[in-house]
Amino acid sequence: MSIASGNVFGFWLFIAISALVIYTINASQRGKLKVTIRPIAGLEAIEECVGRATEMGRPVHFSPGLGDVVTTAAADTLAALQILSYVTDVAARYDARFLVTIRMPNVYPLASETVRQGYIAANKADAYRENTVRYISSDQDAYAAGVIGLFHQEKVASSILAGLYMGEALLLAESAARLGIMQVAITASVTQIPFFVAACDYTVIGEELYAAGAYLTDDKGRLGGIAAQDYIKLIVIVFILLGTFMTSMGSNVIQELLTM
């Protein structure tokens, strides 16, 4: 058995990255590696979002995005579910009315279980309602229409949009902005970030989505994972600089190594 040509470097890189992630998670959990994340303003605003809804006696809305857990959007959706866990905890502590809307059927059981467990962990199991998590539609436009309708009909006070978004991002964000709904958007969808920046009160962009779970929970294991990602980015920076230098010198040795 041999590794297919073109995948050799990728395979060993995968092994190296996995080893690094496992090491940093272990080191962080044992206290050997102290990890501190720089402040991310948008994530600090989540509690303000829930607090505002509580004071107004109106619901706080959360969407884990349009992504599924069985596609390449899995990372975005799972990161959004980590944020959902935190928002549920805050909503349960504040006794805020909570509303979660779902687009993908596969995400529904995960979100439902996350919210239910969140209420149980906060000793507020009685406050959990079966209709807290609502499946709207797997069609993205119908999902947007359904959520916009809920904004009006339920008189939502704040909205947190996390995960993967597509063309309906502006529909959701702009409709909420017109209603004076406080919004925090947390997404790595590059093409939709401009609309969230324009229409939302706070926008958490790019890889900040993947760091959000560690940032909000201060979980040592997750913080170790974020440290590993930073080390990988630093290695990538070194490779790019080295590759640029070698290319300028007329050598493609780095490119050939990467495509081995």
Partner 1 sequence: MQISTNIWQWISVACVFGMWSLPLYKDNPFYRVCQNVFVGSCAGHAIGIAVGNIVNYGFQPLGQGKLDLLIPIILGLMLYTRFFPGIAWLSRWPVAFLVGVGVGQTIYTSLRSQIINQSIAAMTKFPGQDLASSLNGLISLIGLLAILTYFLFTVPQSRFVKGMSQLGRWMMMVTFGVGFGNVVSGRLSVLLGELLKIFGDWLGMI
Residue 94 beta carbon to partner 1: minimum distance, rounded to whole angstroms = 27
The backbone torsions φ and ψ at residue 72, rounded to the nearest 5 degrees and listed phi first, read -70, -10
* Cβ burial, residue 249 (10 Å; 0-12/13-18/19+): exposed
Of 56, 49, 51, 69, the residue nearest 161 (C-alpha): 49
Residue 244 beta carbon to partner 1: minimum distance, rounded to whole angstroms = 5
Identify residue 3 by its one-letter amino acid code. I
The helix or strand, by DSSP H or E, that contains position 203, with its residue range, turns out to be strand 202-205
Output 16 or 121, the one with its CB closest to partner 1: 16
Output 184 or 193, the one with its CB closest to partner 1: 193
Output 96 or 144, the one with its CB closest to partner 1: 144
Long-range contacts of 178-181 (CB under 8 A, 24+ apart): 179/151, 179/152, 181/61, 181/151, 181/156, 181/157
Output 89 or 208, the one with its CB closest to partner 1: 208
Residue 105 beta carbon to partner 1: minimum distance, rounded to whole angstroms = 8
Residue 51 beta carbon to partner 1: minimum distance, rounded to whole angstroms = 26
> Cα(256)–Cα(180) distance, rounded to whole angstroms?
54
CB atoms within 10 A of CB 120: 12
> Cα(85)–Cα(210) distance, rounded to whole angstroms?
14
Residue 40 contacts by C-beta under 8 Å, 6 or more apart in sequence?
204, 208, 211, 212, 215
> Cα(57)–Cα(110) distance, rounded to whole angstroms?
27
Residue 1 beta carbon to partner 1: minimum distance, rounded to whole angstroms = 18
Output 62 or 151, the one with its CB closest to partner 1: 151
Residue 156 contacts by C-beta under 8 Å, 6 or more apart in sequence?
53, 58, 59, 60, 61, 99, 150, 176, 179, 181
Residue 155 three-state SS: coil
Output 30 or 233, the one with its CB closest to partner 1: 233
Output 121 or 241, the one with its CB closest to partner 1: 241
Residue 87 beta carbon to partner 1: minimum distance, rounded to whole angstroms = 20
Residue 122 beta carbon to partner 1: minimum distance, rounded to whole angstroms = 21
